[in-house]
Amino acid sequence: MTEKFTPDPTLNGQVNNTFVKDEYQPLGKEVYIKAADMMSDKGYKEAYLGDTIRFKMKRDKKRFWAGDNISDYVSEQDKEKLIDEATEAFETVLDRLLIDRENDPNSHGTARRLAKMYFNEIMAGRYEPTPDATAFPNDSEDRYEGMLVVRSELRSMCSHHHQPVSGVAYIGIIAAQKLIGLSKYTRIAQWCARRGTLQEELCNDIAREIEKATGAKDLGVYIQAVHGCCENRGIMAHSSLTQTTVLKGAFKEDGNTKKEFFDNIKLQQEFAPR
């Protein structure tokens, strides 16, 4: 059987306009590899390390959302290779955005800068293990029993738009049987923040990690932050502020404790406005 067709000029400039269908088959865009070869060393060498790690996490049913810590699956050496792989992917994004990354001096090297920034800075909290927070006993007779409120400056990124989120967390606890160094509250909060998050989720994450590190059951976390995704795009709201609160134990159940926490926050804000 004979059919008329128009050859692709870039590939088949010389071909005339008729062909015998049975003698041709379409050149597919997908390339296949034998499943058995994928499992061999050869297959792995050609695959991306990032795919291998994703495969392992799926196998283990480990969640790897933008706000999840996956440090158990990523070693320091892996990070270098993952940055190389992400560089390649960001190069493709720039190409698709029609940015001349070869001739534009400001776009030259941007793909690698982006890859390094994601792994080492704005999403570092996904790949680094929990910060060390040595606990000191607080169980003697004159133990500290009061409220402790720490102000922690935060930089984060929303997982919806990858736009910056910046703000402050106020972390309050009633001291339990152990205490951690004051700077550790902020280290833990920043470790939670340096991921792709939602503010609501971040507030919960900080409360959970502070509870783990201090053993305190009575605690509160209040965050106020501005979101790049509301300021730079969408509704372009320049002075919008988002506030979230997580309260546990006495902070939730006892009105006086709750009031003391928020009074302390007001005093903090007089001392250091946002």
State the minimum distance, in angstroms, from the CB of residue 229 to Zn ion: 3
Nearer to Zn ion, 94 or 229 (CB): 229
State the minimum distance, in angstroms, from the CB of residue 146 to Zn ion: 38
Nearer to Zn ion, 120 or 159 (CB): 159
Nearer to Zn ion, 49 or 229 (CB): 229
DSSP-assigned states of every residue in the chain: -EEE----HHHHTT--SEEEGGG-----S-----HHHHHSHHHHHHS-HHHHHHHHHHHTT----TTS--GGG--HHHHHHHHHHHHHHHHHHHHHTT--TTT-TTTTTHHHHHHHHIIIIITHHHHSPPPP--EEE--STT---SEEEEEEEEEEEETTT--EEEEEEEEEEE--SEEE-HHHHHHHHHHHHSSEE-HHHHHHHHHHHHHHHH--SSEEEEEEEEEHHHHSSTT--TT--EEEEEEETHHHH-HHHHHHHHHHHHHHHHHS--
Residues 140-169 that bind Zn ion (CB under 5 A): 158, 160-161
State the minimum distance, in angstroms, from the CB of residue 197 to Zn ion: 10
Q: Which residue is nearest to Zn ion (CB)?
A: 229
State the minimum distance, in angstroms, from the CB of residue 163 to Zn ion: 5
Residues 210-269 that bind Zn ion (CB under 5 A): 229
Nearer to Zn ion, 158 or 250 (CB): 158
Kindly state the number of chain residues that form the binding site for Zn ion, as judged by CB under 5 A: 4
Over the window 177 to 216, marking each residue x when it contacts Zn ion by CB under 5 A and - when it does not, the resulting string is: ----------------------------------------
State the minimum distance, in angstroms, from the CB of residue 111 to Zn ion: 23
Q: Which residues bind Zn ion (CB under 5 A)?
A: 158, 160-161, 229
